[in-house]
């Protein structure tokens, strides 16, 4: 530990211990602990955000698959073959077989 020497009236010499060195060590240790806490907190937040991104990407993939299935089903349902078979099942007549009477 460093000491400071003070001369007073050149008669006697006093030594004074510097207590501020202990406070600097305390500040240093406290700042290291604080930086470590912030680092761990940010790392945990980063991991949590990564999990959320992974879930969102999986949900996006599921939505794209559902969209593809719906588009293919829509294309099948509006095809002329399916529409004509549904019309026959419901009892609709073909437009060419309808007789129009004009006055």
Specify if 96 maps to a domain: no
Distance CA 39, CA 31 (A): 12
Specify if 16 maps to a domain: no
Q: What is the DSSP string of 50-85?
A: HHHHHHHHHHHHHHHHHHHHHHHHHHHHTSHHHHHH
Specify if 4 maps to a domain: no
- C-beta separation of 1 from 18 below 8 A: yes
Specify if 5 maps to a domain: no
State the total domains in the chain: 1
Which residues, 6+ apart, have CB-to-CB distance to 82 below 8 Å?
76
* 33-60 confidence digits (pLDDT tens): 999 999 999 999 999 999 999 999 999 9
pTM flag (> 0.85): no
Q: Is the pLDDT of residue 75 over 80?
A: yes
Q: Which domain holds residue 70?
A: 22-91
- C-beta separation of 71 from 64 below 8 A: no
Please give the pLDDT value at position 44. Answer: 98
The token pair at 92 is 């609709």
């Amino acid at each position: 530990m460093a000491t400071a020497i003070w001369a007073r009236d050149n008669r006697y010499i006093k030594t004074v211990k510097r207590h501020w060195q202990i406070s600097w060590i305390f500040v240093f240790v406290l700042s290291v602990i604080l930086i470590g806490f912030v680092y761990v907190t940010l790392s945990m937040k980063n991991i949590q955000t990564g999990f959320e991104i992974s879930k969102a990407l999986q949900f996006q993939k599921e939505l794209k698959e559902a969209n593809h299935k719906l588009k293919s089903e829509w294309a099948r349902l509006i095809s002329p073959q399916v529409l004509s078979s549904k019309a026959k099942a419901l009892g609709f007549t073909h437009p060419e077989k309808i007789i129009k009477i004009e006055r």
